[in-house]
């Protein structure tokens, strides 16, 4: 009797598994869903708090950050089978802003159903898009201008902006700092980032994954290239890095700031 029961249970489990797999495959093969890219700013191992939090660099400089903004663009998603989905370019420009909830979560719609394992995106506006001219930017130009992410049309977009005050062993009274990347002279300073997911993002008609991306802002100064704000405080009025030889080094650091912490499939 027990053997018969075991066989019945085994058959039921197998049938349920096959049915679930079949249903799962059906969901993957047709339809579309949404996926959200959530950008969570941090400094080292600490979640970022604007205005009041002291953030220490390897050069013993203490930063109190007041502004973090960057342009996220040209999103490309890769499935487990290697299939690539490029998000429509006209919808693929977003402004990350630590001070607003809308500047942290970016929902992408009409994503083909499937199991996604990788995302690629740009930081900044690619040169081909900028070369379309002011009239070729659509609504994003006004959006960037309102967010303070445009110097002027000739100078172009700010790709990344980090601002605040700092002190150091030799700068004992807090002074301001500004780090802005974008087009400077012959350097365009646009960069792209590719991130693997620790678990699959299961896009379905009834599942809209949330990809939680940590942005470690300490990498701006403590990435592959070490940048010391004190060295740029030459007038004693603060460190303003918006061009020159440091900007390509900072752009290289920007590319190392991001990692996917986890994926929510619900």
DSSP H or E run through 239: strand 239-241
This prediction has a pTM of: 0.89
- pLDDT, residue 17, reads 45
Cβ neighbour number for residue 198 with a 10 Å cutoff = 12
| Residue 234 scores a pLDDT above 80 | yes
Cα dihedral 147, 242, 234, 231 sign: positive
Residue with token string 């619900």: 266
Task: State what percent of residues in the chain have pLDDT above 90.
Answer: 82
- pLDDT tens digits for 152-186? 888 999 999 999 999 999 999 999 999 999 998 88
Task: Compute the distance between CA of residue 126 and CA of residue 72 in angstroms, rounded to an integer.
Answer: 10
Read off the tokens for 147.
């967010």
Task: Compute the distance between CA of residue 104 and CA of residue 109 in angstroms, rounded to an integer.
Answer: 16
- pLDDT, residue 30, reads 73
Average pLDDT over residues 35-61: 97
Task: Compute the distance between CA of residue 190 and CA of residue 248 in angstroms, rounded to an integer.
Answer: 9
- pLDDT, residue 58, reads 96
Under a CB-based contact definition with an 8 Å cutoff, are residues 129 and 137 in contact?
yes
Under a CB-based contact definition with an 8 Å cutoff, are residues 143 and 72 in contact?
no
- Class of residue 23 by CB neighbours under 10 A (exposed 0-12, middle 13-18, buried 19+): exposed
- pLDDT tens digits for 62-88? 999 999 999 999 999 999 999 999 999
Residue 178 sits at φ, ψ, to 5 deg, of -140, 130
Under a CB-based contact definition with an 8 Å cutoff, are residues 190 and 127 in contact?
yes
Closest CA to 215 of 252, 259, 164: 259
Task: Compute the distance between CA of residue 93 and CA of residue 140 in angstroms, rounded to an integer.
Answer: 7
Average pLDDT over residues 99-106: 94
Average pLDDT over residues 172-201: 95
- pLDDT, residue 186, reads 82
Under a CB-based contact definition with an 8 Å cutoff, are residues 250 and 227 in contact?
yes
DSSP H or E run through 140: helix 140-146
Report the chain's mean pLDDT, rounded to a whole number. Answer: 90
- pLDDT, residue 164, reads 98
Read off the tokens for 145.
């201008």
Closest CA to 160 of 124, 125, 188: 124
Least-confidence region, from 27-31, 66-70, 119-123, 164-168: 27-31
């Amino acid at each position: 009797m027990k053997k018969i029961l075991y066989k019945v249970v085994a058959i039921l489990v197998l049938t349920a598994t096959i049915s679930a797999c079949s249903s799962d495959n059906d969901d993957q093969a047709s339809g579309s869903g949404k996926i959200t890219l959530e950008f969570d700013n941090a400094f080292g191992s600490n979640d970022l708090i604007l205005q009041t939090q002291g953030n220490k660099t390897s050069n013993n400089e203490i930063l109190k950050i007041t502004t973090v903004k960057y342009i996220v663009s040209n999103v490309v998603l890769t499935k487990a089978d290697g299939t690539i989905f490029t998000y429509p370019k006209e919808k693929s420009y977003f402004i990350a802003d630590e001070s607003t909830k809308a500047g942290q979560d970016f929902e992408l719609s009409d994503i083909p159903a499937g199991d996604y394992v990788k995302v690629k995106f740009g930081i900044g506006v690619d040169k081909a898009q900028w070369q379309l001219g002011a009239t070729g930017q659509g609504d994003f130009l006004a959006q960037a201008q309102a967010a303070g992410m445009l110097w002027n049309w000739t100078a172009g977009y700010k790709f990344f902006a980090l601002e605040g005050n700092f002190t150091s062993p030799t700068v004992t009274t807090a002074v301001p700092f500004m780090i802005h990347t974008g087009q400077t002279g012959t350097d365009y300073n646009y960069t792209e980032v590719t991130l693997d997911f620790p678990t699959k993002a299961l896009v379905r008609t009834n599942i809209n994954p949330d990809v939680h991306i940590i942005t470690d802002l300490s990498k701006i100064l403590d990435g592959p290239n070490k940048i010391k704000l004190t060295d740029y405080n030459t007038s004693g009025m603060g460190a303003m890095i918006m061009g020159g030889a440091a900007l390509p080094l900072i752009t290289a650091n920007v590319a190392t700031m991001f990692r996917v912490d986890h994926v929510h499939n619900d």
